[in-house]
Amino acid sequence: MTAAAAATPRQVCPGCYCTECFVDKLDPMWVGIRIAPEENRIWHTIRAYHLAGRCSGCNECERVCPVNIPLSLLNRKLAKDVEGLFGFQAGLDDKEMQPLGAFDKDEKLGIGE
Amino acid sequence: MTQVISKSDLMVWLGRLSESHRLIAPVDEAGVTLFQKVSKVEDIALDFTNTVLSPKEWFFPATETLFSVEKKDGGIELVPNEDVEESVIFGVRPCDALGIALLDKPFLNEPADALYGRHRDKTTLIGLSCSEARPECFCTSMGTAPNDPANVDVLLTEVADGYIVDAVTDKGKAIVPQDLLKESDVTAPPPPSMETVPVEGIEEAMSQSFDDPYWERLADRCLHCKLCAYVCPICYCFDVRDYNDKGKVQRVRSWESCQSSGFTTIAGGYDRRAGKGPHLRQRFGHKLLYFPREFGSAACTGCGRCVKVCPVNVDIREVIADVQDLGGTSGQQ
């Protein structure tokens, strides 16, 4: 998926709120114009960090995809990891901060330490 | 009398073509039909209305290296991309064949695009008449028809016991297998009918409605996702960038769209089409006003793909009808 094609899931995504998406930045250009694995990787990595713990599973990204890419597989993987690591499920409690949106100096995940 | 090839002999012919050429044909994959390179003819989908993406990607790929820069004898050499194979595309619908003919106008008018020209010279098109129209089809309003042989090299039309073979051009005659054809008095079925779109005088109506608030209203729901441009058989805007992969520098072009933010921004930051309305108007302006002024016909084939994929139902047929009804508010550009 090119930067340009990446526009579709973000535009229909209720979780996306940036006034200017990083894929639209031209200077510096975060995601190149090519269809190439490295461009896909940066788009999906940043999307994953933005949506982990926030994706509510509305599946709109999958609905609009004209070539049937099963994006919900990625979304469910994000939800599973967030539940495993933080015991958090998106969309159940509007008071609780999402794990990747909050910082607690005492939190220890037992990974990377 | 017409020449007919049986369904089993069609497979024999395609098998031969796959050995002598790069054969590209519709293939079903994960529930979508796309033009792909075929090595086994059994993979070819014959029962399809049309593909999700048009065959334009085989002439103007979504990403393509224009040339690479190589160091040679202490200097620098620009090496053009000449990696273009002799190809046959099977199963091109008349609307998409018109799309390729329209792409020729910007790409082959001087100064011609050499790489596009190489793809075009080395490709033979085998068209396939449509036996049914999709709900979004309106090709008969855009100057072609479900059985139009005008822009293909060979046209096949399905009949009860095979396909009528009509070799249209010399390129087509060169690949038609005379040994597999039989004379027959079978006649082609009538082409499917479809709705008509009021395109008569649309250029003037577009010009008159340039500043109409209609465009802001229409753009209200547009997501600027650009799917319409990617599935369009004619949208041909591109961006060009240089990439340096471990010392190998390549100049690459990729599909772009007028619906990208920044597409119409010029040096210094001024945007000629700033705002959602002017941004979306640019898409229809190019198709129905600027392209016709430059090249003499609308940049739309009536394939209906943009109508089908739009997540928010922006429908070019409705836009054409709406603009005709506006009656002209402020003439400009």
Q: Work out how many domains chain A is built from and give that number.
A: 1
Residues B65 and B78: their CA atoms lie apart, in Å, by 12
Q: Which of A16-20, A87-91, B283-287 is the least confident region?
A: A16-20
The stretches of B55-201 forming alpha helices (DSSP H) are 94-108, 114-121, 170-175
Residues B98 and B323: their CA atoms lie apart, in Å, by 24
Residues B233 and B83: their CA atoms lie apart, in Å, by 23
Q: Which of B158-167, B212-221, B260-269, B271-280 is the least confident region?
A: B260-269
In terms of pLDDT, which residue wins out, B83 or B313? B313
* Cα torsion B293, B294, B297, B299: sign: negative
Residues B312 and B265: their CA atoms lie apart, in Å, by 26
Q: Beta B75-80 vs B87-92: how paired, if at all?
A: unpaired
Q: Which of A18-22, A28-32, B133-137 is the least confident region?
A: A18-22
The count of residues in chain A is 113
Q: Which of A98-107, B147-156, B177-186 is the least confident region?
A: A98-107
Half-sphere exposure of B255 (CA within 13 A, CB side): 27
Residue B80, Cβ neighbours under 10 Å: how many? 13
Q: Which of A12, A34, A66 sits opposite B63 (nearest CB)?
A: A34
Residue A111 belongs to some domain of the structure = no
Q: Hey, of B27, B29, B225, which one would you mutate to test binding to chain A, going by the most A CBs within 10 A of its CB?
A: B225
Contacts of B141 (CB under 8 A, 6+ apart): B196, B197, B198, B199, B302
Residues of A in contact with B224 (CB under 8 A): 7, 11
Type and span of the H or E element at B18: helix B7-20
Q: What is the DSSP string of B231-287?
A: H-SS---EEEEEEEETTEEEEEEEE--TTSTTTTB-TTS-BTT-SHHHHHHHHHHII
The stretches of A4-106 forming alpha helices (DSSP H) are 7-12, 37-51, 60-64, 71-86
Check A66 against B227: CB less than 8 A apart. Answer: yes
Burial grade of B162 (CB within 10 A; 0-12, 13-18, 19 or more): buried
Specify whether the CB–CB gap between B163 and B143 falls below 8 A.
no
- What confidence category does residue A109 fall into, taking pLDDT thresholds of 50, 70 and 90? low
Residue A1 belongs to some domain of the structure = no
Per-residue pLDDT at A112 exceeds 60 = no
Q: Hey, of B52, B261, B314, which one would you mutate to test binding to chain A, going by the most A CBs within 10 A of its CB?
A: B261
Residue A83 belongs to some domain of the structure = yes
Q: Hey, of A2, A40, A58, A63, which one would you mutate to test binding to chain B, going by the most B CBs within 10 A of its CB?
A: A2
CA distance B226 to chain A (A): 7
Q: Between helices B114-121 and B94-108, what is the axis angle to 10°? A: 140
Specify whether the CB–CB gap between B235 and B317 falls below 8 A.
no
The stretches of B80-213 forming alpha helices (DSSP H) are 94-108, 114-121, 170-175, 202-208
CA distance B322 to chain A (A): 25
Residues A48 and A35: their CA atoms lie apart, in Å, by 19
Nearest CA in chain B to A65: B309
Tokens encoding B9: 């002999």
3-state secondary structure of B330: coil
CA-CA distances (angstroms) from residue B51 to A65, B2, B31, B34?
A: 15, 28, 11, 5
Residues of B in contact with A12 (CB under 8 A): 223, 225, 311
The interface predicted TM-score of the complex, written ipTM, equals 0.79
Check A33 against B32: CB less than 8 A apart. Answer: no
Residues of B in contact with A2 (CB under 8 A): 62-63, 254-255
Q: Which of A11, A34, A68 sits opposite B224 (nearest CB)?
A: A11
The residue to which tokens 């713990």 are assigned: A53
Please list the residues that pair with A26 across neighbouring strands: A29
Q: What share of chain A is helix, strand, coil (3-state, %, to 5)?
A: 40, 0, 55
Half-sphere exposure of B272 (CA within 13 A, CB side): 8
Residue A104, Cβ neighbours under 10 Å: how many? 8
Residues B200 and B287: their CA atoms lie apart, in Å, by 14
**Quick one: pLDDT at residue B152?**
98
Express each pLDDT in B264-301 by its tens digit.
888 888 988 888 899 999 999 999 999 999 999 999 99
Residues B276 and B274: their CA atoms lie apart, in Å, by 7
Q: Hey, of A13, A19, A33, A61, which one would you mutate to test binding to chain B, going by the most B CBs within 10 A of its CB?
A: A33
Please give the share of chain B, as a percent, with pLDDT higher than 90: 86
In terms of pLDDT, which residue wins out, A12 or B311? B311
CB pairs under 8 A between A and B: 69
One-letter amino acid at B211 equals D
**Which residues of A fall below an 8 Å CB-CB distance to B?**
2, 4-5, 7-8, 11-12, 20, 24, 26, 29, 32-36, 63-64, 66-68
Q: Beta B63-72 vs B75-80: how paired, if at all?
A: antiparallel
What is the DSSP-derived secondary structure letter of residue B44? B
Residue A108 belongs to some domain of the structure = no
Check B262 against A7: CB less than 8 A apart. Answer: no
Residue A110 belongs to some domain of the structure = no
Residue A55 belongs to some domain of the structure = yes
B252 touches chain A (CB under 8 A): yes
Give the residue among B251, B254, B284, B279 at the shortest CA–CA distance from B265.
B279
Structural domain boundaries, residue A26: 7-101
List, as ranges, residues 93-112 from B with C-beta within 8 Å of A.
Answer: none
List, as ranges, residues 39-58 from B with C-beta within 8 Å of A.
Answer: 52-53
Express each pLDDT in B121-156 by its tens digit.
999 999 999 999 999 999 999 999 999 999 999 999
Per-residue pLDDT at B330 exceeds 70 = no
Q: Which of B52, B62, B63 sits opposite A66 (nearest CB)?
A: B52
Contacts of B252 (CB under 8 A, 6+ apart): A33, A34, B63, B64, B65, B66, B240, B241, B242, B243
- What confidence category does residue A4 fall into, taking pLDDT thresholds of 50, 70 and 90? very low
Express each pLDDT in B1-37 by its tens digit.
799 999 999 999 999 999 999 999 999 988 899 999 9
Residues of B in contact with A68 (CB under 8 A): 30-32
Residue A36 belongs to some domain of the structure = yes
Check B32 against A68: CB less than 8 A apart. Answer: yes
Per-residue pLDDT at B253 exceeds 80 = yes
